């Protein structure tokens, strides 16, 4: 087992990448702290893990609030004795996110509150716990758009993921000699609710697919596999990385005509 005796805290674990990572990490031996705002779906994640023989606990948390971030880390240590893996995965993409002219300030502020402050607070309270455990791995979910920008305007989301990328690099440099690794996981376009709510017609889907050399959308399970590598000791010499899992889109991306 690649995560035997480890404790992993995963935000946004009620669905998508977070849920798949929670189940996979558990299968590989980790005890899981499932963090989300969606209580029913979070409980389902826990139930699936426990049904498969794993250990998990659910914590309701708004990652943009300091008290909630502090509490989720506290629950991890009180329930399982330590924290070794922090997967700052929770994020939003607002339906009204657009260009600089059209995007309202409240959309911008909410996006940054979850996508950027949420990662900051996870690290603020998670890093001391990793220190107490003797080190560990932090994985921050960014996006391929943090590297390229997006062809379809989503300025708040793209900017927030760029912030996650730069935050990850600095944290990696600061904490490298404490045996704490920090990496940014950058998925390409995925067949998840987050993206499919925008690509809600076949024409829109095909406009995006034309840029992906593999010719398909990624699956949440595939991103979870990449997160497992970053969480495990197999990536022991990897920190500060922009870990692109994108079907080749960054090697061949152009703006559609």
The pLDDT of 218-244, averaged and rounded, is 96
Give pLDDT tens digits for 199-227.
Answer: 656 656 656 666 777 777 889 999 999 99
pTM for the predicted model, two decimal places? 0.93
Whole-number average pLDDT of the chain: 92
Q: Is there a domain that residue 163 lies in? A: yes
Which one of the listed residues 58, 125, 157, 253 is annotated catalytic?
A: 157
CB 12 within 8 A of CB 18: yes
In a domain, 178, yes or no: yes
Question: So what's the pLDDT on residue 156?
Answer: 96
User: Locate tokens 């499919």: which residue?
Assistant: 196
Q: Is 58 assigned a catalytic role? A: no
Range 25-41 average pLDDT: 98
Q: For the chain, how long is the longest CA-to-CA vector?
A: 54
Contacts of 185 (CB under 8 A, 6+ apart): 139, 140, 141, 142, 223, 226, 227, 230, 243, 245
Over range 41-47, report the average pLDDT: 98
Q: Could you tell me which residues come within 8 angstroms of residue 113 by beta carbon, excluding any fewer than 6 positions away?
A: 64
Confirm whether 170 is domain-assigned.
Answer: yes
Please give the distance of CA 236 from its chain centroid, rounded to a whole number.
Answer: 19
**14 belongs to a structural domain:** yes
Question: Containing domain of residue 91, as a range?
Answer: 7-191+220-245
Cα separation, 159 vs 78, whole angstroms: 36
Q: Is residue 1 part of a domain?
A: no
Q: What is the pLDDT of residues 132-150, one digit of tens each?
A: 999 999 999 999 999 988 7
27 occurs within a structural domain: yes
Express each pLDDT in 53-106 by its tens digit: 999 999 999 999 999 999 999 999 999 999 999 999 999 999 898 999 999 999
Find the CATH number of the domain harbouring 102. Answer: 3.40.50.720
In a domain, 211, yes or no: no
pLDDT of residue 257: 42
Contact between 52 and 107 under an 8 Å Cβ cutoff? The reply is no
Asked if residue 143 is part of any domain, the answer here is yes
Domain count, the chain: 1
Residue 256 has what pLDDT?
Answer: 47
């Amino acid at each position: 087992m690649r995560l035997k005796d480890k404790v992993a805290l995963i935000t946004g674990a009620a669905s998508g990448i977070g849920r798949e990572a929670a189940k996979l990490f558990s299968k590989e031996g980790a005890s899981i702290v499932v963090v989300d705002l969606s209580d029913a779906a979070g409980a389902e994640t826990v139930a699936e893990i426990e049904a498969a023989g794993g250990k998990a606990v659910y914590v309701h948390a708004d990652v943009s609030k300091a008290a909630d971030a502090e509490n989720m880390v506290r629950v991890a240590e009180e329930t399982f004795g330590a924290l070794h893996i922090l997967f700052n995965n929770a994020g939003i993409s607002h339906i009204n996110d657009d260009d600089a002219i059209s995007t309202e300030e409240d959309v911008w502020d909410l996006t940054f509150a979850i996508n950027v402050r949420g990662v900051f607070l996870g690290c603020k309270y998670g890093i001391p716990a990793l220190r107490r455990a003797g080190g560990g791995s932090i994985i921050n979910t960014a996006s391929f758009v943090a590297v390229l920008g997006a062809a379809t305007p989503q300025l708040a989301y793209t900017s927030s993921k760029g912030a996650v990328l730069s935050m990850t690099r600095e944290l990696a440099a600061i904490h490298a000699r404490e045996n704490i690794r920090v990496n940014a996981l950058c998925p390409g376009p995925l067949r998840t609710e987050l993206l499919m709510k925008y690509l809600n017609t076949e024409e829109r889907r095909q406009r995006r697919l034309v840029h992906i050399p593999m010719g398909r959308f990624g699956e949440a399970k595939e991103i979870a596999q990449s997160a497992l590598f970053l969480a495990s000791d197999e990536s022991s010499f990897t920190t500060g990385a922009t870990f692109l899992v994108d079907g080749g889109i960054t090697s061949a991306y152009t703006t559609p005509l």
